[in-house]
Amino acid sequence: MEKVIIIRYSEIFLKGKNRGFFERALETNVHRALKGFDYQFIKQSGRYFVRDFDQTQTETLIEKLKKVFGVHTLSVALETASDMDSLFEAAKLLARDSGTFKVESHRGDKKYPLTSIEVSRELGGRLLAHSKGALRVDVHEPSFTVRVDIRENGVALVFTEFIEGANGMPVGTAGRGLLLISGGIDSPVAGHMMAKRGMTVDCLHFHSYPYTNAQAKEKVVQLATVLSEYACGVNLYNISVTHIQEAIHEKCKPELMITLLRRFMFRIAERHAEHIGAQCLITGESLGQVASQTIEGMTSSNSVVKKLPVLRPLVGFDKDEIIQRSVKMGAYEISILPFEDCCTVFLPDFPAIRPKLCDILREENKLDVEGLIAEAFTTMEKCKL
């Protein structure tokens, strides 16, 4: 008897002629997630099987596979011969010691001598007798279910759990986006959501070293690493906006610091996105969350982006919902580490909540926008995660 992992993928992308394209992306991503482990990977009747792996590492493999978008559910199954004695041996290993249960059978091999119902009845009866009264059958609300899948060639799979997968679409099937990543809670979640829809995500972070410290930078590396496990690898680009912030601080109205900085960030991001072949910008903005995230604030930063769409997957989310997602993806504990972000450097006491475009343009005209952008690009560093 051998443990195998069953990978079932969502049926949404099975429709249409692109099926092969989505399947190949999913296969590549599974191999990426399991890199460094020994295993066999087999595709069979609309599912995948991972087998011949070190069985002491089952949990680790499952944790890795739970991060692969496009995976609907997973099961750890015992593969056994399909005769009743072998099924019973497998079922005994998986059944709990007590409680209510039922057996559900599925027959892929239509030549099998018993019907699905007969298999369930026989196996249920044997388990009941074996438990000496500790188990009871409840077909409506059992505390656990033994599932039997009788396959062709005299082989069967026996398992109890459907483990929820990451769902979504395989990364690599929906273009490339450039995520503006800060050290906060929101932007990693925004990147995760786009990766879930199949988008390849690269990250761009702006820092104000030496006003912000090396730990702040390291925090972003850690966040991008967490995202990378879902997004099948990300490139993280770091650019310094120190001189831009100093110039704004020196020449412009303090209440417009964030608005003006945002416009620099978006300009740089769009140019960089085009350079790396990204087709959109992604931010973690959520309407009304902070003073700069009003519709006026978003309009002001959007208006410097000329060609690409700016995707804001969190725009309608409450902070609570974002935090839940952050916890679930494993980023939250890193996000709440207390290191300063560049946006908190030179922060005015009263940022403009509804900045007017004419005021913004007047202040911006005091700056050498192109020169500052060109200089910022010279500070760019790249790391592959």
In angstroms, the Cα distances linking 120 to 74, 109, 185, 227, 342 are: 22, 15, 48, 43, 62
Q: Residue written as tokens 């009866």? A: 125
With CB under 5 A as the contact rule, which of the stretches 103-111, 125-133, 147-155, 336-344 interacts with Mg ion? 336-344
Verify binding: residue 182, Mg ion, rule CB under 5 A: yes
> Crossing angle for the helix pair 295-302 and 257-276, nearest 10 degrees?
50
Q: Which of 25/360 has CB closer to ligand ATP?
A: 360
Kindly identify the residues of this chain, within the stretch 232-291, that bind ligand ATP according to CB under 6 A. 265, 283-285, 289-290
Q: Taking a C-beta distance cutoff of 8 angstroms, is the pair 176, 198 a contact?
A: no
**CB of 150 closer than 8 Å to CB of 180:** no
* Residue 58 touches ligand ATP, criterion: CB under 6 A: no
Shortest distance, position 346 Cβ to Mg ion, whole Å: 15
Query: Which residues face 239 on adjacent strands?
Result: 206
Dist CA 60 CA 253 (whole Å):
53
Residue 343 near ligand ATP by CB under 6 A? yes
Q: Does 292 bind Mg ion (CB under 5 A)?
A: no
Q: Is 6 in the site for ligand ATP (CB under 6 A)?
A: no
C-alpha 307, offset from chain centre: 27
Contact of residue 192 among ligand ATP, Mg ion, none (CB under 5-8 Å per partner type):
none
Q: Which does 376 bind (CB under 5 to 8 A by kind): Mg ion, ligand ATP, none?
A: none
Min CB(343)–Mg ion separation in Å: 6
> CB of 212 within 8 A of CB of 340?
yes
Using an 8 Å Cβ cutoff, are 117 and 105 in contact? yes
- What are the CA-CA distances from residue 132 to residues 55, 89, 129 (Å)? 30, 16, 6
Binding mask 201-240 for ligand ATP (x = CB under 6 A): ---xxx----------------------------------
Residue 185 interacts with, from ligand ATP, Mg ion, none (CB under 5-8 Å by kind)? ligand ATP
Alpha helices in the chain (DSSP H): 19-33, 58-65, 84-94, 116-131, 186-196, 214-231, 242-251, 257-276, 295-302, 319-329, 332-335, 357-364, 369-377
Nearest to 237 by CA among 270, 203, 208, 210: 203
Helix %, strand %, coil % of the chain (to 5): 45, 20, 35
Please identify, using beta-carbon distances, which residue of 87 and 269 lies nearer to ligand ATP: 269
What CA–CA distance (Å, rounded) separates 326 from 90? 38
Given 70, 168, 177, 184, the residue binding Mg ion (CB under 5 A):
184
Q: For Mg ion, which residue has the nearest CB?
A: 184
Residue 131: contacted member of Mg ion, ligand ATP, none (CB under 5 to 8 Å, by partner type): none
CB of 339: closest distance to Mg ion in angstroms?
Answer: 11
CA distance 164 to 61: 14
Selected binder of ligand ATP within 184, 198, 313, 355 (CB under 6 A): 184
Give the contact letters, 297-336, x = binds to ligand ATP (CB under 6 A), - = no: ----------------------------------------
Stretch that binds ligand ATP, among 38-46, 129-137, 179-187, 366-374 (CB under 6 A): 179-187
Work out whether 297 is an interface residue with Mg ion (CB under 5 A): no
Name which of ligand ATP, Mg ion, none residue 79 binds, using a CB cut-off of 5 to 8 Å depending on partner kind. Answer: none
Structure tokens at 291: 């003073």
Decide whether 71 or 236 has the Cβ nearer to ligand ATP. 236
Tell me, what DSSP letter sits at residue 12? Answer: G
| Residue ranges in contact with ligand ATP by CB under 6 A | 180-182, 184-187, 204-206, 265, 283-285, 289-290, 292-293, 341-343
Give the footprint of Mg ion on this chain (CB under 5 A): 182, 184, 341
